Chain A
Amino acid sequence: GAGVSQSPSNKVTEKGKDVELRCDPISGHTALYWYRQRLGQGLEFLIYFQGNSAPDKSGLPSDRFSAERTGESVSTLTIQRTQQEDSAVYLCASSPRGTINTGELFFGEGSRLTVL
């Protein structure tokens, strides 16, 4: 499809294991965001990629979280040594524009992570 694609849609893992979440943005979109939504909470910004610029990692909650993006394509979010508080829906979004009046973000369906 032409939308933002995320995988896996659901992931159940044991505490202490590493997980990798993938995002395929809309073709041609230069900006890519990762957000997470914990139960009963709003969307929490994690990281932002814009073209080949250095990413804005200011939202990453700890050094167990990292993300990569190759050029303007796929991004992966990696969580090492998962903890139960990492359980959330991880949402990826892309945008054809940069930071000025970000406006419309196109979200994927999210990856639901459950850490037992």
Chain B
Amino acid sequence: DQQVKQNSPSLSVQEGRISILNCDYTNSMFDYFLWYKKYPAEGPTFLISISSIKDKNEDGRFTVFLNKSAKHLSLHIVPSQPGDSAVYFCASQETGANNLFFGTGTRLTVIP
């Protein structure tokens, strides 16, 4: 049973506009959340994270928002650039656990 869900397999956005990628989780014990980016033929690379004690974390063009009551997080990229085109994975963890639970990914295409 998928504990982390990314319901949009793909997203296309014009260059310069905002990209919003969404993620839902079911386990209320999750308290740490991450986004990874993956280019073809490469392993995923860490992008940004957020602890459950926060509802927002910003790093340059990337901002992650966490809504604990809705068990929902989102990644905002603004402005979007063609180099942002990749598959984005959401991941969640319970502190002390060994495992990161990953979603199925959303393929973002930024159109020049």
The A/B interface has a contact count, at CB < 8 Å, of 69
State whether A100 touches B95 (Cβ < 8 A).
Answer: yes
**B 67-98 binary contact with A (CB < 8 Å = 1; else 0):** 00000000000000000000001010101111
Chain A residue numbers with a CB within 8 Å of B93 are: 101-102
Q: Which residues in chain A, 65-110, are within 8 Å of chain B measured between CB atoms? A: 91, 93, 99-110
Option from B4, B42, B103 in Cβ contact (under 8 Å) with A109: B42
Provide 15 A-B residue pairs closer than 8 Å at the C-beta atoms, listed in order of the A residue. A42-B2, A42-B104, A43-B102, A45-B99, A45-B100, A50-B98, A91-B44, A100-B96, A102-B32, A103-B32, A105-B44, A105-B46, A105-B100, A107-B43, A108-B43
Residue of A with least CB distance to B46: A104
> Interface size class for chain B?
20 to 34
Give residues in A with beta carbon < 8 Å to B: 4, 33, 35, 40-45, 48, 50, 56, 58-59, 91, 93, 99-110
